[in-house]
């Protein structure tokens, strides 16, 4: 296999990748933020067989980088060889990969070059809903409590609007950051959200669903579509009027939107494992998503290809220290 940088061939590239974070459009969005990103192809006899993109993040105070390949192809021997070359050419201390490969993977073979990562950035589990089922089947597959909550929202007169305007972006940002503050977690910056919206809206890949109760916005989701999948990566909600169950109606409307767009899957962007603890701080999100009847899928996990072991081990040892922890989070949350 021959490794080459790809600067054109957008359509050909997009046919080979399997997740929106590997799409050509997502790469252009990351580039607009000043992130170093390169698209690569593996060629066999001048035929493009595998495509992927990597972001590069400079390590503070050092002349080295961390490479990040999220939701990419199968990490086989050809990919390992390609990443070794890429890591050396871009002065990487290590490259982190999180393949978009579900278990059980019948052709799953991991070369010894890949080291099991102690620091995942993406969840190992996810809920994926089959949108090829009929609306009646989807409704029947909801958890009874979820189905009841949707009816409660409808009874209270909650209205969900599909929006593409600047006011919708403002509503979304306000609710998103209200949620991050309330839940005490690190979210993306306003600049990040504005950039992903600007780029993907232009490509007809993004929209907002906003739930209103008595003209007050209570819940806002950014939804992204790529190939045959609808993604729910980001959302926010208000503490006001929890009794009207606005979140539940937004999720159901997202499912119906996916069907209207003739998509096949609804990717809910992450979940806990099959034996999720009630004490886990993310259990509420997990249970909410679980109520919609999606399949809990498991991916093969997170691996690191290490080029500079002293720096890599330093990262691992001091991961609990805030500055480095924030740096690692910025790989996906800048």
Q: What is the pLDDT of residues 142-165, one digit of tens each?
A: 999 999 999 999 999 999 999 999
Q: What is the pLDDT of residues 88-143, one digit of tens each?
A: 999 999 999 999 999 987 566 788 889 999 989 999 999 999 999 999 999 999 99
Of the candidate ranges 35-49, 66-80, 99-113, 221-235, the one whose mean pLDDT is the lowest: 99-113
End-to-end CA separation in angstroms for the chain: 33
Q: Which domains does the chain have, with CATH numbers?
A: 2-122+302-333 (3.40.630.30), 126-297 (3.40.630.30)
In the predicted model, is pLDDT for residue 312 greater than 70?
yes
Whole-number pLDDT of residue 1: 87
Of all residues in the chain, what percent carry a pLDDT higher than 90?
A: 87
Buried b (16+ CB within 10 A) or exposed e, 143-182: eeebbebbebbbeeebebeebeeeebbebbbebbbebeee
Q: What is the pTM of this model?
A: 0.94
**Mean pLDDT, range 40-69, rounded to an integer:** 95
| CA quadruple 261, 265, 268, 269: dihedral sign | negative
Whole-number pLDDT of residue 111: 82
Q: Are 43 and 4 in contact (CB under 8 A)?
A: yes
Encoded tokens for 148? 């009841």
Between the CA atoms of 159, 211, 146 and 240, what dihedral angle is there, to the nearest 10 degrees?
A: -110
Query: Closest Cα partner for 112 from 73, 72, 84?
Result: 84
DSSP letter string, 176-209: HHHHHHHHT-----HHHHHHHHHHHHHTT-EEEE
In the predicted model, is pLDDT for residue 317 greater than 90?
no
Encoded tokens for 333? 């949350």
The mean predicted confidence, pLDDT, of the chain is 94
In the predicted model, is pLDDT for residue 33 greater than 90?
yes
Per-residue pLDDT band at 43 (split at 50, 70, 90): very high
Q: What is the pLDDT of residues 173-213, one digit of tens each?
A: 999 999 999 988 888 999 999 999 999 999 999 999 999 99
Whole-number pLDDT of residue 5: 97
Q: Are 332 and 21 in contact (CB under 8 A)?
A: no
Report the DSSP pairing between strands 229-237 and 265-267.
Answer: parallel
Whole-number pLDDT of residue 218: 98
Q: In whole angstroms, how far apart are CA 313 and each of 122, 155, 224, 239, 318?
A: 20, 56, 36, 42, 8
Whole-number pLDDT of residue 78: 93
Q: SS3 of 332, please?
A: helix
In the predicted model, is pLDDT for residue 76 greater than 70?
yes
Q: Are 101 and 109 in contact (CB under 8 A)?
A: no
Encoded tokens for 276? 């999720």
Q: SS3 of 170, please?
A: helix
Residues 6+ apart with CB under 8 A from 188: 234, 333, 334
In the predicted model, is pLDDT for residue 332 greater than 70?
no
């Amino acid at each position: 296999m021959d490794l080459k940088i790809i600067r054109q061939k957008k359509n050909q590239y997009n046919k080979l990748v399997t997740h929106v974070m590997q799409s050509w459009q997502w790469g252009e969005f990351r580039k607009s933020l000043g992130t170093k990103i390169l698209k690569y192809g593996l060629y066999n006899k001048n035929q493009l067989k595998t495509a992927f993109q990597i972001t590069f993040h400079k390590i503070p105070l050092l002349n080295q980088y961390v490479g990040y390949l999220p939701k990419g192809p199968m990490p086989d021997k050809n990919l390992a060889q390609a990443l070794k070359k890429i890591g050396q050419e871009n002065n990487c201390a290590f490259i982190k990969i999180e393949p978009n490969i579900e278990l059980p993977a019948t052709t799953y073979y991991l070369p010894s070059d890949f080291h099991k990562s102690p620091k995942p950035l993406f969840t190992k589990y996810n809920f994926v809903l089959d949108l090829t089922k009929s609306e009646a089947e989807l409704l029947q597959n909801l958890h009874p409590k979820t189905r009841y909550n949707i009816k409660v929202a409808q009874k209270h007169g909650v209205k969900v609007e599909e929006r593409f305007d600047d006011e919708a972006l403002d509503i979304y940002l306000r609710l998103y950051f209200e949620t991050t503050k309330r839940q005490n977690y690190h979210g993306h910056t306003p600049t990040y959200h504005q950039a992903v919206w600007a780029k993907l809206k232009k490509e007809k890949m993004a929209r907002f669903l906003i739930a209103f109760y008595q003209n007050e916005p209570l819940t806002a989701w950014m939804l992204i579509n790529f190939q045959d999948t609808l993604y729910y990566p980001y959302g926010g909600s208000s503490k006001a009027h929890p009794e009207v169950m606005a979140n539940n109606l937004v999720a159901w409307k997202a499912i119906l939107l996916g069907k209207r767009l003739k998509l096949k899957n609804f990717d809910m962007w992450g979940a806990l494992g099959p034996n999720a603890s009630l004490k886990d701080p993310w259990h509420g999100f997990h249970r909410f998503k679980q109520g919609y009847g999606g399949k809990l899928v498991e991916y093969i996990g997170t691996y690191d290809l290490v080029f500079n072991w002293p720096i890599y081990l330093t990262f691992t040892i001091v991961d609990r220290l805030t500055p480095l922890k924030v740096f690692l989070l910025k790989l996906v949350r800048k």
